[in-house]
């Protein structure tokens, strides 16, 4: 079920007009959300607060929509503070990369 908060957020941010659809966002019921969005060459899973209309506070990059959607579907409603989704190949906030989404191959940029 799509919450009213999701519909309102997509409308207020202009994301609905930009192609964002309710099936690409989940309300975590704590004032925050997770959403998948396409970028130019890959997809991202972002986590942010509904009150923040211009930004988000975490982001993971995926090679394709299927990987991002799997991470969205698996994201727990009440994640532990250290929770990270599986399968990402880049985490821009930390500079970490995981070739082919493999945690055993993780390294940090720079």
Residue 69 confidence (pLDDT) above 80: yes
Strands 32-38 and 25-27: antiparallel
> 3-state class of 61 per DSSP?
strand
- Which one has a higher pLDDT value, 23 or 72? 72
> 3-state class of 91 per DSSP?
strand
Q: Global pTM?
A: 0.86
Whether the CB-CB separation of 63 and 71 falls below 8 Å is answered with no
Say what the pLDDT of residue 1 is. 53
Say what the pLDDT of residue 103 is. 96
Residue 20 confidence (pLDDT) above 90: no
- 60-73: average pLDDT: 97
- Strand arrangement of the beta sheet that strand 25-27 belongs to: 25-27, 32-38, 43-49, 58-62, 90-91, 96-97, 107-108
Here the tokens at position 4 are 């009213």
- 32-43: average pLDDT: 93
Say what the pLDDT of residue 104 is. 97
């Amino acid at each position: 079920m799509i919450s009213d908060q999701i519909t309102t957020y997509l409308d207020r941010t202009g994301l609905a007009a930009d192609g964002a659809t309710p099936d690409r966002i989940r309300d975590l019921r704590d004032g925050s959300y997770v959403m998948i969005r396409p970028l130019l060459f890959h997809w991202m899973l972002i986590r942010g607060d509904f009150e923040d209309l211009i930004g988000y506070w975490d982001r993971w990059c995926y090679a394709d929509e299927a990987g991002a959607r799997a991470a969205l579907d698996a994201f727990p409603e009440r994640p532990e503070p250290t929770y990270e989704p599986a399968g990402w190949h880049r985490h821009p906030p930390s500079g970490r990369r995981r070739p082919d989404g493999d945690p055993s191959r993780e390294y940090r940029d720079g």
